[in-house]
Amino acid sequence: MELIRNLNRSDLFGAAVSGLCAIHCTLTPIFFVAKPVIESTVGEHAHGSHLWLALDYIFLVLSLGAVWYSSRHTNHQMIKRVLWIAWFVFAFGLLSEPFDLSFGKAFMYLGSITLVIAHVKNYRYCRKCREGIRH
């Protein structure tokens, strides 16, 4: 029972992290457009953009942990495969960004959104398993 509860938490955590990552990726262009205005009013802080960009790698590590834990504890083979494939697509997109590959952002979005969907599906699947155990 405790294992199922932890699995549900890892799926909710994974869905939240992937969703926040998608929001972060969406807001990044707005942040960089607004950066000159912010710097002129607040003052220049060179570390600000580095911290913002560091979030990419923080999301990558957090999502890896959620995928690892969820896939390790689910018996739904398709969801397990989708979680790992989505994570690798996301990682490939993120790691290709310094090379200015045109498809990098698309891979990041696709991987991130697929991770949200896969974690939610796994959460629902595990909830149904738990309810089946009670009956």
pLDDT digits (tens, 9 = 90+) for 65-111: 888 888 887 888 999 999 999 999 999 998 888 888 888 888 988 99
- Which tokens belong to 52? 């913002």
User: What are the CA-CA distances from residue 44 to residues 9, 39, 49, 51, 67 (Å)?
Assistant: 40, 5, 11, 14, 38
Q: How confident is the model at residue 1 (pLDDT cuts 50, 70, 90)?
A: very low
User: What are the CA-CA distances from residue 124 to residues 34, 43, 71, 129 (Å)?
Assistant: 40, 47, 14, 9
pLDDT at 86: 94
- Which tokens belong to 48? 């600000």
CA distance 118 to 59: 16
Q: How confident is the model at residue 4 (pLDDT cuts 50, 70, 90)?
A: very low
Q: How confident is the model at residue 134 (pLDDT cuts 50, 70, 90)?
A: very low
What is the rounded (10 degree) CA torsion for 29, 34, 38, 39?
Answer: 80
Structural domain range at position 48: 2-134
Provide the number of structural domains found in the chain: 1
The residue among 56 and 38 whose pLDDT is bigger is 56
Output the pTM of the full model: 0.67
CA distance 63 to 70: 10
Q: How confident is the model at residue 37 (pLDDT cuts 50, 70, 90)?
A: low
Query: Percent of the chain at pLDDT above 70?
Result: 64
Mean pLDDT of 46-68: 75
